[in-house]
Structure 1
């Protein structure tokens, strides 16, 4: 069996829309390493897009899942529930930012979590309008595509999208968008497009994921909270990519001191097992009646068992602190690379272990280098390193290593990055 043979079979059997960034077919994975079907070893700086924050096949999570499978794999949470879902809800409610009593629901994907936030917000407020941000990513369903602020490849050809969705610029110092600019744009929306008392919710990623790993300044998050309070608008924090210790806090919103009304959680929640959650203020969460929320697979007992184990691993292995250490170590190496190629690497930025390198032409932020980005991902793969890209212009390399990765493996991976970058320069 070879990567090439499998890739040819895949092209014949699977729709091209569900793409494959690396033609590397995995045979096994452990912590921050992957081996393909040909026996080649890769250092994984993607972690399944921030899903495996606790590494591939963490023994604690494996054991929890195996124990659950021996008991039962599915009964449907909405039919005959189980203790692990109750315990997980209790733990997430306690961990969510702010002192207001919380409640949770469980679904299966991040997009489902966002969809349910919209349902809950509209039900609670009796309003229909939604505000999201340019560059944001919230999913691939029709509603979440509408909220997403990037056209290609997510929205092109799939419209029309639901109405009463509006987009404002996300603050971005590197590209000249200040907090004041973003707030002025929101005021302009209220003046020209939709009155604030028709807006159900504002949804924001505290660090934009697909948009390019730009972090919202705490002052902006605090201003949004005040704006929402002023107008009776709900504030939704999309923590799907930023959650579960990735940024050095359990949730990135904690950096701002803001308490969202609703939060979405997925990706790193269960170490690779499909489950997602909405956690929000109890009175808001209780607005929809019985049967209005949920889904057949929502709150899978296997996912619940894995998620409980993830929370234990994060606490016992101090992964929030480890994320900060990883960020510092990798940023140091990236800054050394930037000093060698200042005309090609425009900015290095991070919040904990959510790290980005923006590639440009002639050192200018206004000249994105998407071609170099694409080439670097391919070259890195040939050097045994798995990288991911992002950014609305396709010119950002994002680094999302497992938070359980060793310093030795980080250094080996960064050496391979240096080699790949040099090979293209």
Structure 2
């Protein structure tokens, strides 16, 4: 049940969520977030549907809310923070979509999946990631200078990895990648998003039926054989993991490359010292924060930072502003691959912290050093301002990244 927001005497006029990024600054959060964070880490915010809730920008504040069970992740309780979004209440999360669940449902699904995404299992996948990376770097070289790095390298690597982990035929990628892209679009109409979700569910239902008949040795097979999940739940979990595994890491590879090309000294440091990669990945996650914004809704009155958040009010969490908070990260607007970026919120925090973060770390730690080692003269094939940015998507990055290099 939604509650009408109460007035909060003494607070400033509510703000709207800053979404416009400064021209020529493709790696920085939207202008205005830093000023809001400096003024106060938690401020009143007016949502596009007229709801008056909150915007959190400080690292400590955002982290606190993400770890607090008094705030819900259920979609139907929250208001959409971006202009042009759906009007009225959001529909509940589809079955299996863990992002839109609270405990105890979320706890049940997460416990089932935690054993499938252990650090040890992900490390065993490192060798396979190295093979896939080498194959696609060979293909990139054959394509020659002027190639789009997103299409040739950034998108196929995580797609292959998540397909192999789950047991999804990579040959079917044309069938599911378009649907996943539509689901991540901030500009897609509700009926388009619904159609995309339905398409993914129908595809996954076919795979689940095959796994029930003859379970394979991968995550979907394990769940089909060993869990008490219904077919509907297994389909939902499969859709959730497939969509999540495709988009975020692909954008980190592409946008991370773009950032390194824009900071040549940092790219050179990684090229000279591949052992720097794990530390570099954490810093790029902090600096770029491609999963930039999320929303929680208060289930009860909560006092935080001297403010009273009332039950039913939505709180927009700006992870990108939090990861640039100078109180947590000195000189936060500088990309420094030697920084110890421990505590960044690029993978979230709390019960909804990214389930596949170890897989993402494996992929990024392998892909980025290998790319710069293979192509030491790698550079943009177009002016930086002509690179199309994903300002229309819930996961930030680049739509395309044309690159070139000196051929031997």
- Scaled by the length of structure 2, the TM-score of the pair is 0.28
- Report the structure, 1 or 2, having the larger strand content: 1
Q: What is the TM-score normalised by the length of structure 1?
A: 0.27
Pick the structure with more helix per residue: 2
